[in-house]
Amino acid sequence: MVQVDLTLDELKTKIKRLNSQGGQLKMELHDLAEGLPTDFENIMEVAGRTYQLYRELDELKKQLKARESQ
């Protein structure tokens, strides 16, 4: 669950940080896909981390949009 008690600046900072981490995870997934069938065992773990990060990022972006439209 995403924290809802963040200030607007903290929310923006967290979104930037998660965007950066998301880019790293996308590259990790890309590298895994390029190397298949080697390291196929790692796909679910990396995909799970990627999913969780983007799920949190989506929630934070919705919070930001809601707060900015108030």
CA distance 51 to 17: 16
According to the model, what pLDDT value does residue 4 have? 63
pLDDT at 70: 84
What is the model's pTM?
0.85
Instruction: Identify the pLDDT of residue 54.
Output: 98
The string of pLDDT tens digits covering residues 3-61 is 568 899 999 999 999 999 999 999 999 999 999 999 999 999 999 999 999 999 999 99
Is residue 1 pLDDT above 70, yes or no?
Answer: no
Tokens describing residue 58: 């989506």
Contact 16, 55 (CB under 8 A): no
Task: Pull the structure tokens for residue 53.
Answer: 């990060």
Which residue ranges make up each domain of the chain? 8-69
> What torsion, rounded to 10 degrees, do the Cα atoms 40, 16, 68, 65 define?
-10
